[in-house]
């Protein structure tokens, strides 16, 4: 799927949720000629390999959310697969935190006290691929919450990408905070009793917005 088709796809996706964005010639969709702005690009994989969908959300001149989604299948089918994962995994938390449109049927909305501030937290569902419908332990998000409460977060929007990969040769966890590796979060996920399996991945996208009083 080329850039123009992806721009049209996103434009209609946001329209279905009552968000009107304006398209520019560089593939971006902007909000009232300002931020946030969103753009997607599809990268076809090598023969027999999955492709990758990159979704960027620019919050300001200095801050940008960068998310990627694997798409299985060649050509249009691979891109469509990645778009489905994006919509299920990250779209609704992004919509809530950046465009203030919430749908609590598609994510968990809660509040955490971190430091001296209260944060609204938008938690997307864990997306599990491979090994059927494995249940992600509740302790995973509890461990992340505990780790975040030891952080000194600046009073602005923050985002997390949490991933666990499990295979016959072992398992690996990764946590990113604002696009950067977050060691404390990775260690928190490593301490969780993940279910056994022959091969699966579980990923989750979370946004935190400081609450105004």
Q: What is the pLDDT of residues 23-66, one digit of tens each?
A: 988 889 999 989 999 999 999 988 888 999 999 999 999 999 99
Q: Does the predicted TM-score (pTM) go above 0.85?
A: yes
Q: Is the pLDDT of residue 131 over 80?
A: no
Q: Is the pLDDT of residue 132 over 70?
A: no
80 and 127 assigned to the same domain: no
Please state the φ and ψ torsions of residue 179, each to the nearest 5 degrees.
75, -5
The range of the structural domain enclosing residue 179 comes to: 108-210
The candidate with the shortest Cα–Cα distance to 176, out of 200, 152, 158, is: 158
47 and 133 assigned to the same domain: no
pLDDT at 89: 95
Q: Which two tokens stand for residue 32?
A: 């009232």
Query: Domain tally for the chain?
Result: 2
- Rounded Cα distance between 112 and 210, Å, is 10
Neighbours of 51 (CB within 10 A): 22
Task: Mark which of 81, 99, 117 sits at the end of a domain.
Answer: 99
Neighbours of 78 (CB within 10 A): 23
The candidate with the shortest Cα–Cα distance to 134, out of 191, 202, 55, is: 202
Task: Mark which of 40, 64, 99 sits at the end of a domain.
Answer: 99
Percent of the chain with pLDDT over 70: 99
Task: Mark which of 99, 132, 159 sits at the end of a domain.
Answer: 99
Q: Which two tokens stand for residue 135?
A: 């249940």
């Amino acid at each position: 799927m080329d850039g123009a088709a992806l721009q049209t796809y996103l434009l209609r996706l946001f329209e279905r949720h009552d968000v009107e964005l304006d398209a520019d010639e560089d593939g971006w969709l902007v909000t009232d000629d300002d931020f946030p702005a969103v753009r997607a690009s599809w990268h076809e994989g090598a023969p027999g390999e999955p492709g990758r969908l990159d979704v960027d959300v620019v919050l300001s001149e200095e801050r940008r959310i960068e998310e990627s989604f694997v798409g299985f299948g060649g050509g249009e089918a691979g891109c469509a697969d990645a778009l489905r994962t994006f919509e299920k995994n990250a779209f609704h938390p992004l919509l809530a935190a950046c465009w203030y449109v919430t749908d609590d049927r598609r994510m968990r909305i809660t509040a955490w006290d971190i430091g001296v501030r209260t944060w609204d937290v938008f938690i997307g569902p864990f997306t599990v691929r491979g090994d059927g419908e494995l249940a992600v332990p509740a302790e995973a998000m509890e461990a992340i919450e505990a780790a975040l409460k030891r952080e000194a977060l600046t009073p602005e929007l923050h985002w997390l990408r949490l991933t666990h990969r499990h295979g016959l040769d072992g398992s690996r966890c990764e946590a990113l905070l604002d696009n950067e590796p977050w060691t404390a979060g990775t260690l928190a996920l490593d301490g969780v009793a993940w279910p056994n399996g022959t091969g699966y991945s579980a990923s989750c996208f979370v946004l935190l917005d400081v609450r105004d009083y």
